[in-house]
Structure 1
Amino acid sequence: MCHAVSDHLESFQPSCYTDLVHRPKTSKTAEIHVLKLRRRNGKKLSNEVKERAKLRKLKKIMKMKNLKLYKENKIIIEENEKLRKRALLLHQQNKDMFTQIIQQISQPSNYHNY
């Protein structure tokens, strides 16, 4: 028991009377366990814990949005490269056709000989 019965043990202080200050610090896993128990029991969490949970959720959402935008950007860049190659090909074809037209115009035609 916590009460001293005999006279010679009166000065002895059992562990139940010692300061709570001297208890060892709880580990991180123990703190997490307590938080889980509080959630399970429906007790309110501190604002700091709620804020950290919101930040974790927001980070996860932002990471997903960033990944989606990265993929979309990659697709746009690939399409842009395809269009650039197609434009270069069309430009070359246009140049070739223009050269052919110039050659046809510069050749003397047989129809205008009088």
Structure 2
Amino acid sequence: MERHQQLKDLEDHLDQLVAMLSLDPMCGWWKHFESCLCATRELLRLGFSQQQLNELSGSVMCVYGGSGSFNDYAPVTRVGPDGALELVAGMDAVDRLAGKVYRSALALRVVG
């Protein structure tokens, strides 16, 4: 797939993820992904080198590993006196969308 289209795919997936994460008032991860979305849009507007794509890819992907990473994010809210947890409304596809963002970022890297 052509690099420009791959970057457009990342933009689309990031845009959707930022919108979804904004539904959770306790989530701070949207700031990282919004910053990556702005960087993606800037590259689409101004042009890009492979090095810039690699850097963007690394920036997006750096929050996906280790303890306390985005992989540990759970969009839940406490409800009721018994402390039962419930998914934040509109967040049922967050894992699927987060996977699309990761795969889109990975696709920008050069496999050598």
Give the TM-score category using the shorter length.
Answer: under 0.3
Larger Rg: 1
Which structure: greater strand fraction? 2
Kindly indicate whether structure 1 or structure 2 has the higher relative contact order, using CA contacts under 8 Å at least 6 residues apart: 2
More helix by share: 1
